[in-house]
Chain A
Amino acid sequence: MAAEPSVRELRELVAEFQPNRGHLLPALHKVQDTYGYIPKRAIEVIAKQLRTTPALVYGALSFYSEFRTVPPAKTEIAWCSGPACRLMGGDRIREALEHTLELPLGGHSEDHRYALHLGQCNGTCHEAPQIWVNGKVVGRLTVAEAIRLARRIREEA
């Protein structure tokens, strides 16, 4: 795993953002797009840049489910929580994934090889029930297929 970026590097990254201009979310997105997550250090750097407090920055970032403070795993599995998927057996797929990967939703393996997330419906309901593996849809899934896929990920990731 790469070391946390330096304060100087982070300062340069968010230098374009200004206070009171609605720049907090864009700044957090830029950091996450760059490193895949928001390093702890970035919170203080952003707070300084936007002339606010780390508490307000952390307060905002912790409100939104897609900001993450841990680096992404090599294989990210997102389970679609949408209604169409639910009606087609999505919840049983979640149970099976959690047990096969031995992870709760929102968890990651200790070595950061794989992680399991809750994903929100994006309207690809013709693929229900589905999961996304590193952003790629694996749809029209059966529970058995989900288990086989999760086993392969555990072995290979």
Chain B
Amino acid sequence: MNERLQAIIDGAKRSYEAWLSNGRPKVSVCLDTSSLARGADETLARIREVVEREGIDADVGITGSWGFCWLEPTVTVRTAAGTRTILYGEVTPDRAEEFVRRTLLENGEYPELALGVVEGVSSEGVPPLSEHRFMKGQVRRLMANCGVIDPENIDHYLARGGYEGFARALEMTPEQIIQEVLDSGLGGRGGGGFPTGRKWDFLRNATAEPRYLVCNADEGDPGAWVNRILMEGDPQLIIEGMLIAARATNAREGYIYIRYEYPLAFQRMKKAVEQAYEKGLLGKDIVGSGLDFDLIVFRGAGSYVCGEETGLMSSIDGYRGMPRIKPPFPAQAGLWNKPTNVNNVESYANAPLILRHGAAWWSGVSDAKDKGTKMFTISGAVKQAGCVEIPFGYTVRQLLEQYGGGMRDGSVLKGFQPGGPLSGILPASEIDLPLALDPYRERGMFLGSGGVVFFDQHTSIIDLCTYFVGFAEDESCGRCTTCHGGTQRAVEILRRMAVGGGRESDLDKLEDLTRTLVWSNCLHGQFALTTVKLALRYFRDEFETVIREKRDPAKALPGLIRYVLKNPSAASVEEAAAICPTKAIVETHAGWELDDDLCIRCGACREVAPDAVDVVDRFPARVPDVAAASG
């Protein structure tokens, strides 16, 4: 191994080992965007306060996320002698005092909150974490450090095999590195699945200089946060991946483009880059290898279409983030019209694993056609919103039932959406589809970057279409008429349907639009109506009911329902009247009445007075011709 790199790694190992064996128990609070939403910063402050007040000799620190997002704040406690590490969940600020008392002052465990033993002997009260239903079947490779190390300390990363992949890359030629990545079968993780090694080869073969690397961390798909988990949990992994790519492509400068909505990921990546510079792992003549590589952490400013690679580069260039026509492809003309390679966060993050352990090990994780592991986030009407890392090929059902804990009480699965607003929706009957690229391609959609959203019977398909197409309309850059005009037209039709103005011809019109938008310049326009296309295929009857009967089976479309007082004399009506933001519930000489003209269908009244308020169809029932005809 490169001697200077070896010395850096050895130094980090010594300091990490010294810290681990300093005889102090270690309490580490997961501090990421998900846990902060549950008050993890307060939990951390309270734990510090109690530890100090009680004079306990313990190290209190931070980690990234294990993926147990719904059980945040999670906290790991390692015993003084290092014999046992336990992961705890829901250590809310109000439990911090009790938590410290039980884990550090008394017998050392708090079984009621324990999720499992991470390391060391398990007991009856606290089984191994690997036996937790959420962890079983997961293969933590990318996430091996997430929740385990302090993401703001490069030594932790270095001491646990970090930069060994880069060390191996330094001993290889660029061709060999690319061959290794090609052999692994790594496909682009942003959703496209294009072989990463080939992309690198394009850049290596480019003729112009300088050349650039870009890491696309503009994870804009709502409902997907896999990149955030990595950036907040193990940022050095991404830097090492980019260094390997730099070595393979002879790029001298790189950008990590992080969306505005991820301030903590931005701070963590910045800190990680600073620490890599301090260690001499970025900059000029890195560890004496002759490789120069500068890395800039770039902050977006709120634009979904900047996740499209040419839009992203326009944004770095300092223009409106409008995608442009390809070709030329980024490898020919990217940033400042120079050769550029753009990969997703997860694509770069796999490179250190491939180089460290070899392509055969990496791709040997499963027999699935798509190689390697993939991170997924689960959200929607599920019990457990979280993040998992699994080999390709597991079914959506497993994702929902095992990792997502199933649907929430009272919810029945109606369908799901993999891959973000441009990907499309599938019905519950497709729940046994494997999580792999092909099945979704065959259906004219894509698996996408990792977000999977599950929806239930209370969701209107027309509303869902309006939502996703409305999102695409809002975020359209405005260049192609097919896209900005087409999404606008589709939203108009959907909105008209949603208030009872649907026409028989609307379905043809929508289908026409889905065929027209594919002629847009970039993926944004091309896929903007995928949701509509698939909804018309799988949920056509719901469109027909809404158009013909002006009735929403989900009782969700505001224009097709009415709130009524089913029990005007109930005591709770007064409370309903008080909460109504438009004062639509009024007391007249005849008693309480609900003025439909004022009602905005927010449903607050029904929340506070379920016994008094009901939701009914807005239009009187009609016997539809189809029902009569089909018997």
Contact = CB atoms under 8 A, between A and B. Distances in A.
A23 B299 CA distance: 11
A64 B453 contact: no
B301 A29 contact: yes
Interface in A26-49: 26, 28-29
Contacts of A123: 33-34, 69, 223-225, 228-229, 377, 379
Interface of B: 33-34, 36-38, 69-70, 72, 220, 222-225, 228-229, 255, 259-262, 296, 298-304, 315-322, 335-336, 377, 379-381, 384-386, 417, 421, 453, 455-456, 459, 463, 467-468, 471, 477, 558, 579, 581-582, 600-604, 607-608
A116 B128 CA distance: 46
Nearest to B456: A87
Contact of B299 (A29, A126, A127, A144): A29
A147 B223 contact: no
Contacts of B69: 123-126
A123 B118 CA distance: 25
A26 B261 contact: no
B601 A126 contact: no
Contacts of B224: 123
B318 A50 contact: yes
Contact of B603 (A25, A26, A92, A125): A92
B517 to A, nearest CB: 21
B320 A125 contact: no
25 contacts: A20-B336, A22-B255, A29-B299, A64-B302, A65-B303, A81-B222, A82-B222, A83-B223, A84-B380, A87-B456, A92-B602, A95-B602, A99-B602, A119-B261, A120-B302, A121-B261, A123-B34, A124-B69, A125-B380, A126-B34, A126-B70, A128-B385, A142-B604, A143-B602, A144-B608
Contacts, number: 168
B34 A121 contact: no
Contacts of B463: 91
B528 to A, nearest CB: 16
B457 to A, nearest CB: 11
Given A59-B320, A126-B386, A84 B223 contact: yes
A66 interface: yes
B606 to A, nearest CB: 9
Given A95-B600, A123-B33, A137-B37, A22 B298 contact: yes
A139 interface: yes
B318 A25 contact: yes
Contacts of A50: 318
A127 B37 CA distance: 7
A120 B72 contact: no
Contacts of A112: none
A89 B459 CA distance: 9
